[in-house]
Amino acid sequence: MIPDQPVSSPTLSLNLTADAATQPLWKVWWLWGIPVGLTTSAMMIAAELIRDAGYWGGGNLLDVARLLVYFSWARLAWRCSRNVENHRWTPVARFALGAGFVSMAMF
């Protein structure tokens, strides 16, 4: 009888410990980045709706949570930015992450 082999899939594991930085950048950027982008966009819209309802503190709290969500993903992407086949992508990715953080902080 053949023992069961572990099945490898192209998805990014939810393990955010030290070995998460060994993931290829494309996995972190696309498989995590798109959901993070959608989530932070929804949080930004919800924060504005909460402020329009007169609950300024709730909107501000949601903005802080939005920055934390983006920062946690950006930190992981920064750590994985060297895990590319063409090392020219490392500074491009890091610049985009920094610009994204500035954009998140401004709006």
What are the tens digits of pLDDT across the range 12-47?
A: 555 555 567 789 999 999 999 999 999 999 999 999
C-alpha distances in angstroms, 20 versus 16, 54, 92? 5, 41, 21
- Can you tell me the distance from the alpha carbon of 26 to that of 33, in angstroms, rounded to the nearest whole number? 9
Q: At what angle do helices 89-106 and 56-80 cross, to 10 degrees?
A: 170
Kindly state the DSSP code that residue 88 receives in the 8-state scheme. Answer: T
pLDDT tens digits, residue range 52-102?
999 999 999 999 999 999 999 999 999 999 999 999 999 999 999 999 889
Helix (H) or strand (E) holding 57, with range, is: helix 56-80
* CA neighbor of 28 nearest in space, from 18, 16, 42, 40: 16
Beta strands in 1-107 (DSSP E): none
